[in-house]
Chains A and B, each alone.
Chain A
Amino acid sequence: MIKKKQLDSCLSQIDDFEKPIWKLEQYMTPFDMASSMIQHIMMNEDISGQIVADLGCGTGMLSAAILCAGAHHVIGYEIDKQAADIAQKNLEEVHGSGFDIILTDIQYHKFKGQVDTIIMNPPFGTKNENIDTIFLKKSFGKTIIYDKNIVEEIFIHYIRLQLDNIYKDQENQIIELLRFQKHTSFHYQNDS
Chain B
Amino acid sequence: MRLLIHNLLMCNVSKCDQNNYPLIIKVDKSIIVQTEFKQDLIVKLIQKLDFQALSQTVKSLGDDTFPEQIPQDFIKDLQFLQRMHRILYETHIITGELTCPNPQCQRTYPIVNGIPNMILTEDEI
Measured CB to CB, the residues of A under 8 A from B are: 49, 51, 72-73, 75, 79, 81, 84-85, 88, 97-98, 100-105, 108-114, 192
A85 and B4 CA atoms in complex are apart in Å by 20
Main secondary structure of the interface of A (DSSP, over half): loop
A112 and B5 CA atoms in complex are apart in Å by 10
Cross-chain contact A103 with B117 (CB below 8 angstroms): yes
A113 and B51 CA atoms in complex are apart in Å by 11
Main secondary structure of the interface of B (DSSP, over half): loop
Q: Which of B42-50, B60-68, B76-84 faces chain A?
A: B42-50
Measured CB to CB, the residues of B under 8 A from A are: 1-2, 4-5, 7-12, 14, 17, 20-21, 33, 35, 38, 40-41, 44-45, 48-50, 89, 113-120, 125
Query: Would A98 and B50 be within 8 Å (CB), given that A75-B5, A111-B8, A113-B7 are in contact?
Result: no
Min Cβ gap A87→B in Å is: 9
Which of B7, B11, B116, B117 sits near A110, CB closer than 8 Å?
Answer: B11
Cross-chain contact A100 with B5 (CB below 8 angstroms): yes
Min Cβ gap B35→A in Å is: 5
Query: Would A112 and B8 be within 8 Å (CB), given that A85-B113, A102-B115 are in contact?
Result: yes
Write out the residue numbers on chain B whose beta carbons fall within 8 Å of the beta carbon of A73.
4, 89
Give the residue name and chain of the A residue nearest to B114 (CB): A88
A72 and B115 CA atoms in complex are apart in Å by 19
Known: A100-B114, A102-B118, A103-B115. 17 other contacts (CB 8 A): A49-B40, A72-B38, A84-B115, A88-B115, A100-B2, A100-B4, A102-B116, A103-B116, A104-B12, A104-B117, A104-B118, A105-B120, A105-B125, A108-B14, A108-B120, A110-B20, A112-B9
Which of A85, A100, A104, A111 sits near B119, CB closer than 8 Å?
Answer: A104
Give the residue name and chain of the A residue nearest to B117 (CB): A103
